[in-house]
């Protein structure tokens, strides 16, 4: 089974505008870890309310897409989503990088093949809900 969302990225790019950096090969710019984070002007300059709404819209559209079809974007989208309450100019640069990556790879697909895997789950709805309660665990397996 093939899962894909043809035309989704093209519509998103039209909605949010083309990226300034064409064809990024990764959705996120690597920044090496530092003991003391460097605060640049980009990380300190907040954006206006309209741009904040833009950041939230981009986050929602690409979070849906990355969860459904393209998990390579998920780390970048999560990082942007953590900044959407108080976005800065650095957040906008991260969005531009994500849009550029999406332009380069617009048609991701997920292929799902059947296997002999068994799904087993354990559940216990009453664990420690009452004093001196005992655990009542159940095991359930699903197979073809």
38-60 pLDDT per residue, tens: 777 767 888 899 999 999 999 99
123 part of a folded domain:
no
How many domains does the chain divide into? 1
pTM, full prediction: 0.73
Of the pLDDT bands very low, low, confident and very high (cuts 50, 70, 90), residue 33 is confident
What is the residue-averaged pLDDT of the chain? 84
The parent domain of residue 48 ranges over 2-111
Note the pLDDT of residue 126. 60
Sign of the C-alpha dihedral computed for residues 17, 97, 104 and 67 taken in this order? negative
DSSP bridge partners of 3:
110
What does R_g of the chain's alpha carbons equal in angstroms? Answer: 21
pLDDT at 114 over 70: yes
């Amino acid at each position: 089974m093939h899962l894909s969302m043809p035309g989704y990225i093209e519509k998103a790019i039209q909605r949010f505008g083309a990226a300034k950096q064409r064809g990024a090969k990764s959705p996120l710019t690597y920044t090496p870890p530092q003991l003391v984070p460097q605060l640049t002007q980009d990380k300190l300059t907040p954006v206006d309310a309209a741009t904040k709404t833009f950041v939230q819209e981009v986050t929602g559209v690409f979070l849906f897409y990355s969860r459904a079809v393209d998990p390579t974007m998920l780390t970048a989208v999560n990082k942007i989503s953590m900044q959407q309450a108080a976005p800065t100019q650095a957040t906008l640069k991260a969005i531009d990088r994500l849009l550029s990556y999406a332009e380069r790879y617009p048609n991701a697909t997920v292929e799902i093949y059947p296997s002999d895997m068994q799904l087993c789950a354990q559940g216990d709805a009453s664990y420690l809900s009452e004093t001196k309660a005992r655990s009542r665990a159940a095991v359930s397996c699903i197979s073809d």
